[in-house]
Amino acid sequence: MRKLALLTLAFALVSGPALANELDNTSDETEQVIPPAVVDDQVPTATTPLKLDEIQITTKTPADEFITATTPLLVALMLGSVGLVAYTLISQSGRESSRLD
């Protein structure tokens, strides 16, 4: 029984990627047409002047801004978890010492 299971597993490992490639190539996919994006007042035209007050030059990426925004929350959650563990351990040790007396 083990030999059959090992043989089946080996066959699946060898033939799995080949079958996956064949299935991807033979699927009947429909072509979807994506409409062009609608751009209203996002791009300044030659008639509207640039507002230099609103231009910000930075080296931060959106990921950097996300990390900066969520770091205080993560620190607060970590400290709350550590505090809860400490409270639980202290309260349990108090109960055990009262039982021993």
pLDDT at 28: 59
In this structure, the chain runs to a length of 101
Whether residue 25 is contained in a domain is answered as no
Q: With pLDDT > 70 as the criterion, what percentage of the chain qualifies? A: 57
Q: What is the pLDDT of residues 60-72, one digit of tens each?
A: 888 988 999 999 9
Asked if 50 and 44 touch (Cβ cutoff 8 Å), the reply is yes
pLDDT digits (tens, 9 = 90+) for 3-52: 767 667 676 766 666 655 554 555 556 677 767 766 666 665 667 777 88
Domain range enclosing 101:
60-101
Q: What pTM was estimated for this model as a whole?
A: 0.39
**CA–CA distance from 89 to each of 18, 86, 97, 98 (Å)?**
54, 5, 12, 14
Q: How far is residue 48 CA from its own chain's centroid?
A: 40
Q: In whole angstroms, give the CA distance from residue 14 to residue 69.
A: 47
Residue 76 — very low, low, confident or very high, per pLDDT cuts 50/70/90? very high
What total of structural domains would you count in the chain?
1
Q: Is residue 50 part of a domain?
A: no
Domain membership of residue 4 (yes or no) is no
pLDDT at site 15 = 67
For residues 81 and 98, give the distance between their C-alpha atoms in angstroms, rounded to a whole number.
26
